[in-house]
A and B are shown apart, each in its own frame.
Chain A
């Protein structure tokens, strides 16, 4: 069965640079979520989209923005990167309220 696809899987950036993470949800899933997971931490909700509109906002820094496109894929844009932004970034998709299917994640390292 098709799963959530995230790219890139690994990304190394320097401080103050920008990064763009991409997420391709499972076909026919209309809701996309972004989470940040630090080492040994639980996933922290950043932002979600339903039918290409922002639905809910969590602890997403002002330096980050995201959008969902007409083909339902989503991108998380991160600017002025800081060392503390180093983490695993997961995208999850959902066909309806409830269960979320997580992608493999993008490991971002900021040096």
Chain B
């Protein structure tokens, strides 16, 4: 079955430093989505990437989808304490609109002030 690998598992940064998490799927994806989950909270949708080579920005966050639609990255510029949480990528296979997501293991972002 489809597998989604995500690295690193943990990332410690000083406040103000940049942060990047990488995601790689074993199969070609229909789309890839990114979610943020705070401790004790639920996954919150950040963005969806659909097109090959797509790049999207949300303020300090930059999301990329690879040309082969198998890998993706999330880059945060100048991290702030509010960025703390676990960032998950989640891939959806080309099978259909209501297919479940296959999540990566997540990257826990820890920020030291």
Contact = CB atoms under 8 A, between A and B. Distances in A.
Q: How large is the interface on B (under 10, 10 to 19, 20 to 34, 35 or more residues)?
A: 20 to 34
A33 B100 contact: yes
Contacts of B35: 102
B98 A48 contact: yes
Given A42-B105, A99-B33, A99-B48, A56 B42 contact: no
B90 to A, nearest CB: 8
Contacts of B113: none
Interface in B69-113: 88, 90, 92, 95-106
A104 B42 contact: yes
A90 B99 contact: no
Given A42-B104, A98-B92, A50 B98 contact: yes
A55 B33 contact: no
Residue among B41, B42, B90, B106 facing the most chain A CB atoms (10 A cut-off): B42
Q: Is the interface of A mostly helix, strand, loop or mixed?
A: strand
B20 interface: no
Contact of B42 (A33, A46, A50, A102): A102
Contacts of A44: 103
A43 interface: yes
Given A45-B102, A99-B33, 4 more contacts: A33-B100, A43-B43, A58-B100, A97-B98
Q: Which 6 A-B pairs have the closest CB atoms?
A: A45-B100, A97-B97, A55-B98, A42-B103, A50-B98, A102-B42
